[in-house]
Amino acid sequence: MIHFNKFFIITSLLTFFPMLSMAQDKAAEPVRKLEQFVSSHPQEKVFLHFDKPFYAISDDIWFKVYLVNANNHLPRKDALVYVQLLEEDGNVVASRKVQVLDGGGFGDFELAALDLKEGTYVVRAYTSYMRNFDKSFFFHQQLKIVDHTREEVIVEAPSPTIAAQFFPEGGELVAGQVNHVGVKITTADGAGLNIAGTIVDEEGNELGR
C-alpha cells in the first residue's frame, strides 16, 4: 500500500509540473504578443521647440522638430513630420512638411503672409504613421499671436518657476547666534538667477538683506 501511494504521488507530480508549465506559457503568451506588436509597430513621439513664447502678426514662427521612438526615446533617422497652424476652432491656416534627419529638423511659419487676426492659435505636429492612432498622440501647443499695430498690447507671459535653497554654515541654524546662510536661486531647469531679496519675521519686520 505504501509503495502504491509513493507511485501515485510521483505520477501526480510528473503530471502536474508539465501542466503548470503549459499554464504559465499560456499566461505569458499575451505578454509576448504585446511585446512583438510594440517591437514591430513602434510608437513615434513628436516635440517642437519654438524660438519665442508669443508672436506678433508680422513675425516668423521658427521651430525645431524632434522625433523619437516613444518606447526607447531613440531619434528617428529619417522621417517626414507634418506641422500645422490652426485657429482655435480647428481650421488649418498653414501647413509645413519638415524633413527630419537623425531625430531633428527645422521649419517656420511666415505670419505676415497669412493675414492673421490677433488671438490664440494651436500648432499641431504628427507623422503619417501616427495617423494610424488616436489624435491625442499628436503634438499640440497653444501660441498667442498679437497685433503689434494697436496702441497698447498686453501679453501675459508665463511666470518662471524658481527654486530657493538655503545652506546654513555648519549645516544648522543656531538660535540667538549670528548665522551665515548661503542662498541659491535657480530656475526649474537648474539655471542660476541673480536676484536680491530680504529676510522678514512673521510680523513683516525686515531682519536682513
DSSP codes, 91-157: -EEEEEEEEEETTEEEEEEEGGGTTPPSEEEEEEEEETGGGGS-GGGSEEEEEEEE-TTSS-----P
Lowest average pLDDT, out of 31-35, 45-49, 51-55, goes to 31-35
pLDDT in tens, 1-23: 555 455 445 555 556 556 655 65
Instruction: Give the pLDDT confidence score for residue 133 in this predicted structure.
Output: 86
Residue 81 · residue 125 · CB < 8 Å: yes
Whether 148 has a pLDDT exceeding 70, the answer reads: yes
pLDDT at 38 over 60: no
Each residue's pLDDT tens digit, 156-192: 555 556 666 665 565 566 666 676 666 667 665 556 6
Give the span between the Cα atoms of 204 and 39, in whole angstroms: 61
For domain 44-146, say whether CATH 3.50.30.40 is its number.
no
Three-state secondary-structure class, residue 195:
coil
124 touches 84 (CB < 8 A): yes
Q: How far apart are the first and last CA of the chain?
A: 94
**Residue-level pLDDT at 205:** 76
User: For a pLDDT cut of 70, what percent of the chain falls above it?
Assistant: 56
| Most confident segment among 31-35, 113-117, 160-164, 197-201 | 113-117
Q: What share of the chain is helix, strand, coil (3-state, %, to 5)?
A: 25, 40, 35
- pLDDT exceeds cutoff 60 at 206: yes
SS3 assignment, position 182: strand
How high does pLDDT run on average in the chain? Answer: 77
Of 150, 158, 54, nearest to 111 (Cα)?
54
**Domain parsing of the chain, residue ranges:** 1-41, 44-146, 162-208
